[in-house]
Structure 1
Amino acid sequence: MNPATALPVSGVFCAAATPVLQDGAPDQSAFNTHAKALIEEGCDGVALLGTTGEANSFSIGQRMRLLEGVIASGLDAKRLLPGTSQTNVADSVTLVRHAVDAGVKACVVLPPFYYKGVSDEGLFRFYAEVIEGVGSDDLRVILYHIPPIAQIGISLERTARLREAFPGVIVGVKDSSGKLESMQAFASAFENFSVLAGADPFMLPLLRSGGAGCITSSSNLIGAHLRVVFDNWFDTAQADKVEAAQARINAWRDLSNAYVQLPTIKAMLARRRNHAGWTRVRPPLVELTEAEIATVWAQMDRLEAEDNG
């Protein structure tokens, strides 16, 4: 039996990209299609409106409508892990309460990332006010540790204090530090706590260290390979199969980092979903050039041929 499945939130979750219309609003129809395809391709769920989802480039209303729309399209809310934080308590409460009322599995909550060098006490107060402001027994929070972007991290000490203050609410962390030792430290420090890798190459070693799975950008494209790893990592008889899948994961991840990652992921999705609108990004991000897109697509052809070979 897969020991990771005993944790509160476990599996392969896609840090889903968000297609946008020419006016810059989320393309609800294309997103609904993409979310359903991700489940069919092997993802356990969709972590929408995170970093890859360009959440902080959309208004609060746009974010709430995107969540409502994908649920209305028929996707089970219990498969969703929406990003629901802003730099202030009031807007974060609005987003979190809306998601909880919609019935999502858990909310992925960034620390307030505008002010730098803040204390653990200040960060504790932010999370405490959000949790108390929502005031729901159904609230489950996954802390979002992404210091390369937010430049505000999540410490073990603050996690412990929040778990003590709000039993049953803080159920996990998405660790996008890029450091396996950070993920392993979270897994070692807490029982019944879901540590989810924020980058695909780390899921396998993290699972071996007590982790719960992943929330990653490349899973927009390689959910099937990640599924193989998650479902078989603990079975020594499947070791060759797992290592082969991990090699494919790493190859696709390398391509997604060929240029700026998020526009590259969206260029790859334009080809995978046969929808040119996927290449659009919101400012301050900029789309890949036509030459760059052609290079990425050619490499996708090569990788897909290898996958099928």
Structure 2
Amino acid sequence: MSPILHGVIPAVPTPLNADGQPDTAKLVAFIRDLFDAGCQGVNLLGTTGEATSFDRGTRLQIMEAVANAGLAQRMMVGTGAAALADAVALTKAADTMGFAGALLLPPFYYTDVGDGALVQYVERLAELAGARTGRLYLYNIPQLTGLKYSPDVIERLTRNLGGVLAGIKDSSGDLPYAEAVAANFSQLAVFPSDEATLKDRARKKFAGCISASVNVFPHLACATYQSGVDTPDEIYNSMVGVRRALTRVPLVPAIKAALAWRREDESWKTMKLPLVPLSSAQLAQLHNGLAAAQANRHDSGEDRLAN
């Protein structure tokens, strides 16, 4: 099977044309830039990528464009959906196209199902998708899905799925939860969604991070991943400051607004409903926060993604 992913993995946004359809050429170019900046992997079609706002056909179109560019083998792609059949079809396609892994949301909307039903759902998906090379990664984001991959669910899935289950992305913000999963399930790659955890990742047994905010200045997170506790304060504090600025306004439109500024391309601001671009006041707040985070930085990689 594919190697288990690790390291700094940006959760990429999906650039859109004025009609709301994906600009796959721009997406492929951006992913290449992230790899050039030192990222070990990329997460396609997650929350930041507005995946659940796209129909199955559009998601497959985006996946195919990335795969045809020869990038899939270093990437995980979000394949979760409310309907099991959609999740199975997307997961099958991810495997066929050569993606290293499929990132699986729990089935959202019916939030009162118990752990047993959630285990059955994932096991059934794995059976029907029949992955040959790609692996499954669980996506824990209960504040949006209403469901949590509890330690009991994880234990049962690791026992029943074996090596097919490779890891978990935890976007809950519950660091003790992520630490407990990493400590108790050493066979899984555990990725918090906050790059601040990279500095102490070795002690906490994290495989890296999967984060939206590293899209803007990815080399900061890559430097922190490589240096760990020896990361210079200038780099670490700047990285944390950038994330703080991005998370003080709605995160997904903030990422796109920051990329519009960094890449001098206003089309990056286009959102897929129900998400909308930042207001003028939010944009001003974001720009002020990013400027403050970068004010004292002089590292040579500062403008690596400016174009």
Give the TM-score taking structure 2 as reference length: 0.92
- Distance, in Å, in 1 between the alignment partners of 2:183 and 2:39 is 26
Aligned match for 1:216, one of 211, 219, 227: 211
1:89-128 matches, cutoff 5 A: 89-128=84-123
1:55 maps to which residue?
51
1:114-153 matches, cutoff 5 A: 114-153=109-148
Identity %: 32
Aligned match for 1:156, one of 138, 144, 151: 151
AA aligned to 1:252 is V
AA aligned to 1:300 is L
- Distance, in Å, in 2 between the alignment partners of 1:45 and 1:305 is 29
Question: How many residues get paired?
Answer: 297
1:48·1:82 contact (CA, 8 Å) conserved in 2?
yes
1:284 maps to which residue?
274
- Distance, in Å, in 1 between the alignment partners of 2:177 and 2:267 is 37
After superposition, the C-alpha distances for 1:225-263 in whole angstroms (9 at most, x for unaligned) are 1111111216xxxx252x432211110001102311111
SS in structure 1 of the partner of residue 59 of structure 2: helix
Aligned match for 1:35, one of 26, 31, 45: 31
Aligned alpha-carbon RMSD (Å)? 1.7
- Distance, in Å, in 2 between the alignment partners of 1:240 and 1:61 is 43
After superposition, the C-alpha distances for 1:36-59 in whole angstroms (9 at most, x for unaligned) are 111112211110100111000111
SS in structure 1 of the partner of residue 78 of structure 2: coil
Cα drift, residue 88 of structure 1: 1.6
AA aligned to 1:161 is R
2:177 maps to which residue?
182
2:189·2:206 contact (CA, 8 Å) conserved in 1?
yes
After superposition, the C-alpha distances for 1:72-91 in whole angstroms (9 at most, x for unaligned) are 234x3111110001012111
- Distance, in Å, in 1 between the alignment partners of 2:154 and 2:286 is 40
1:184·1:206 contact (CA, 8 Å) conserved in 2?
no
2:135·2:164 contact (CA, 8 Å) conserved in 1?
yes
Compared with structure 1, are the counterparts of its residues 245 and 129 closer, same or farther at alpha carbon in structure 2 (3 Å cutoff)?
Answer: same
AA aligned to 1:51 is T
AA aligned to 2:177 is S
SS in structure 2 of the partner of residue 42 of structure 1: coil
Compared with structure 1, are the counterparts of its residues 299 and 209 closer, same or farther at alpha carbon in structure 2 (3 Å cutoff)?
Answer: closer
- Distance, in Å, in 1 between the alignment partners of 2:159 and 2:55 is 33
- Distance, in Å, in 2 between the alignment partners of 1:120 and 1:298 is 44
2:168 maps to which residue?
173
After superposition, the C-alpha distances for 1:250-306 in whole angstroms (9 at most, x for unaligned) are 100011023111111110010112211111111111111234334433543444442
Give the TM-score taking structure 1 as reference length: 0.91
Cα drift, residue 9 of structure 1: 2.1
- Distance, in Å, in 2 between the alignment partners of 1:268 and 1:130 is 36
1:43·1:219 contact (CA, 8 Å) conserved in 2?
no
After superposition, the C-alpha distances for 1:167-216 in whole angstroms (9 at most, x for unaligned) are 10111000111011011110111122100011222333344211100100
Unaligned runs of 5+ in 1: 1-6
- Distance, in Å, in 2 between the alignment partners of 1:300 and 1:30 is 24
- Distance, in Å, in 2 between the alignment partners of 1:305 and 1:32 is 30
Unaligned runs of 5+ in 2: 300-307
SS in structure 1 of the partner of residue 253 of structure 2: helix
The answer to whether residue 63 in structure 2 is matched with residue 73 in structure 1 is no
1:140·1:171 contact (CA, 8 Å) conserved in 2?
yes
